[in-house]
Structure 1
Amino acid sequence: MIAALACAGTVAACGGASGVEKPPHSLPITGSATKDAARGEHLVLRMRRTGGIVGLGGGLPDFSLYSTGRALVAARERVTEYRLKPAALDRLLHEARAAGLGRSHTVSAGQVMDANVLEFTMGDAHTKIILPETQSDPAVRFQARLDPARWPAADLASGARPYAPSKIAVLASEGAVADGPVRTWPLAPLGRGTGLPGAVCTLAAPAKVPATDLGTAWRSGGKTYTVRLRPLLPDEHTCADLQPR
């Protein structure tokens, strides 16, 4: 599935690449998935696609993979959960290392405004690829392996189901225009939380959060807000975990 590692030497060996190569990192997955799962669930691989201009804070990563085999795939503000079998998890992580994701590197496209960016996190290693559609880095090809629609049924311990978070992040933006009703926010004041780019974050239990959309305005503390709801992922525990990195 993975093409020969074209950039095994330096980042400059990849077309358009730049930056300083870092030595390989110690990754949280060093043995079998079964042994790592026994030590408690932790994040082992994450992929995020963004644009070049920073938007509202708190956005969901496209793909998150955990040591238990749990894989979470985001589409807008909804998250779908899958479970990989241990052997399939080990195989996928091996392919990620073969694609160079075990070492931090940046593949640049020069001075490009508002460029698409593909980012991976694997342990302490961070990979950033600017304008991935024009790059030959193996990580660009590897992203196709993170599409559960391509996973064989034999690799799955369980198929698609809605992810059930323990907490919801309430992301409130003050002064945004809404064309629907103005309602009174029933939970913690929207303005008293953790500041993120373009929003203030508070946490709430899923059962207590009222249904909302961007057409509804909420009044809280004498001000009016629009609200986005975003589930916390298993490796996220506070609003500070949603800060851009």
Structure 2
Amino acid sequence: MKSLRLLIVTALLAAGGCAGESSPSAPTASFPPGEMVLQVSVGGGFVPVAVAVTELPTLSVYGDGRVITTGPVPAIYPGPALPNVQVRHISQADIAKLTKLAVDAGVGMDRDLGMPNVADAPTTEITVRTAAGLQRTSAPALGIGSTDELTEPQRAAREQLQRLVEDLTDLPKTLGASAIDQSAAYVPTVLAVVAMPWQPTDDPVLKDPSAVAWPGPALPGEPVGEPAGDHPDVRCVTATGAQVTEILAAAGSANARTPWTSGGSSWSVSFRPLLPHESSCADLG
């Protein structure tokens, strides 16, 4: 009888896991090529709407082994018109390793992460695809400020997520230098263009760049952001096919302050290459 009770208690503990945490499903065994299976993004905080909606994830891993990341940009003002987006490739086995790292680090678990006393801090969101679908964990102010006021379990959970982010953003170290190929420029099939009315500078030292005729779909497009009515001057259009090629060619010699002329008006434009699992302005932040 004692043996039976022991078996029942052991089974209940195994099913329930640790108190206060609900475990996500195990990593999935297969990865459909076009699906995003792992992503790290950092967003929010006190930034302009146009910046918030065009922020790119730090890392996106797809079922066919593509790893899309943001690369360095020159520390100049005004900066380049186009973001630096890079693509590399890893094996199916290494995709499985990374998704297991995310699950083991607690992504998708219902854990109390606390909140450091940091105003207007960005939030790190980590997403992993498991056998139960996409699991997400959002950690405000991850790796920012002091955590002295948090409980020990909260600090431990945050440290685990921070180590995961560090592992995912240094794949040659995490997987081995030979596990990932050389990076190349990511060329999107769909390009989102966020437009606002262009304003000349009032700085007597800076000079406004020369205007460039807009080669894509008519600007400014439809309101973007949530809710859209709160930011009527921030609008978005998408370009596909030959228009993407023409825009990328024109933007290569422009900068972030370049005025683009369309429909008799000048527009300030931010470019957001859409990722393989995205299709329209509605997918922006």
Match of 1:188 in 2: 217
Would you say 1:71 and 2:67 are equivalent positions? yes
Conserved in 1, the CA contact under 8 Å of 2:172 and 2:179? Answer: no
Conserved in 2, the CA contact under 8 Å of 1:105 and 1:128? Answer: no
Aligned residue-pair number:
219
Distance (Å, rounded) in 1 between the aligned partners of 2:189 and 2:217? 17
Deviation of 1:106 (Å) = 6.0
Would you say 1:159 and 2:182 are equivalent positions? yes
Distance (Å, rounded) in 1 between the aligned partners of 2:108 and 2:269? 37
Match of 2:40 in 1: 47
Deviation of 1:165 (Å) = 1.3
Q: 59-68 or 222-231: which moved more?
A: 222-231
Larger-gyration structure (1/2): 2
Would you say 1:130 and 2:154 are equivalent positions? no
Deviation of 1:25 (Å) = 4.7
Distance (Å, rounded) in 1 between the aligned partners of 2:198 and 2:105? 44
Distance (Å, rounded) in 2 between the aligned partners of 1:10 and 1:116? 29
Q: Quick one: which amino acid aligns to residue 283 of structure 2?
A: D
Change (3 A) 1:238 1:104: farther
* From 105, 114, 120, the counterpart of 2:126: 120
Conserved in 2, the CA contact under 8 Å of 1:194 and 1:240? Answer: no
Distance (Å, rounded) in 1 between the aligned partners of 2:236 and 2:162? 32
Conserved in 2, the CA contact under 8 Å of 1:107 and 1:128? Answer: no
Larger helix proportion of the pair: 2
Larger strand proportion of the pair: 1
Change (3 A) 1:84 1:50: same
Deviation of 1:97 (Å) = 0.5
With normalisation by structure 1, the TM-score equals 0.78
Match of 1:207 in 2: 245
Percent identical among aligned pairs is 27
Q: Quick one: which amino acid aligns to residue 41 of structure 1?
A: G
Deviation of 1:153 (Å) = 2.7
Match of 2:56 in 1: 60
Conserved in 1, the CA contact under 8 Å of 2:195 and 2:268? Answer: yes
Q: Quick one: which amino acid aligns to residue 235 of structure 2?
A: V
Distance (Å, rounded) in 2 between the aligned partners of 1:106 and 1:68? 34
Match of 1:18 in 2: none
Identify unmatched segments of 5+ residues in structure 2. Answer: 1-16, 74-82, 148-154, 202-207, 226-230
Change (3 A) 1:24 1:237: farther
Q: Quick one: which amino acid aligns to residue 127 of structure 1?
A: T
Report the RMSD for the aligned CA atoms in angstroms. 2.6
Deviation of 1:176 (Å) = 3.6
Distance (Å, rounded) in 2 between the aligned partners of 1:193 and 1:78? 25
Conserved in 2, the CA contact under 8 Å of 1:106 and 1:127? Answer: no
With normalisation by structure 2, the TM-score equals 0.68
Identify unmatched segments of 5+ residues in structure 1. Answer: 1-7, 12-20
Match of 1:36 in 2: 31
- Give SS of 2:255's match: coil
Distance (Å, rounded) in 2 between the aligned partners of 1:73 and 1:122? 16
